[in-house]
Amino acid sequence: MNITERAKAPTPKFFRILRTIGLSLLAVSGTIIAAPVALPVGVVTMAGYVAVAGGVLSAVSQITVDDTANKAVQNDAVE
C-alpha cells in the first residue's frame, strides 16, 4: 500500500479527532506567527514549535488506516 492509497483509505475515529486537533494547532500557531503586531520572541518561537507538532500530528493521523474498514472497501471493489 503506497502513501496515496493510505491517505485515501478509511481513518479510525480516534485518529480523525487527533487530525482535527493537529490542524487546529497548526492554524492557531500560524495566526500567531503571522500576527501584524509585535509579539515577544518566546511566543513566536513557541508558535513555531506548535506548528511543527500540529503538522506532524495531522500527517501521521491522516495516513493511519482502519484495517477492518479498508478490507471491506477492497472486498467491495473486487466483487
Tens-digit pLDDT string for the chain (79 aa)? 788 888 788 888 999 999 999 999 999 999 999 998 999 999 999 999 999 999 999 999 988 888 776 666 666 666 5
The sign of the dihedral angle between the CA atoms of 14, 15, 16, 21 is: positive
- Residue 32's pLDDT is 93
**How far is 52 from 63, CA to CA, in rounded Å?**
17
**How far is 45 from 53, CA to CA, in rounded Å?**
13
Phi, psi of 10 (to 5 degrees): -60, 140
CB atoms within 10 A of CB 31: 10
Beta strands in 25-75 (DSSP E): none
Show the cell assigned to 79: 466483487
- Residue 77's pLDDT is 63
- Residue 72's pLDDT is 67
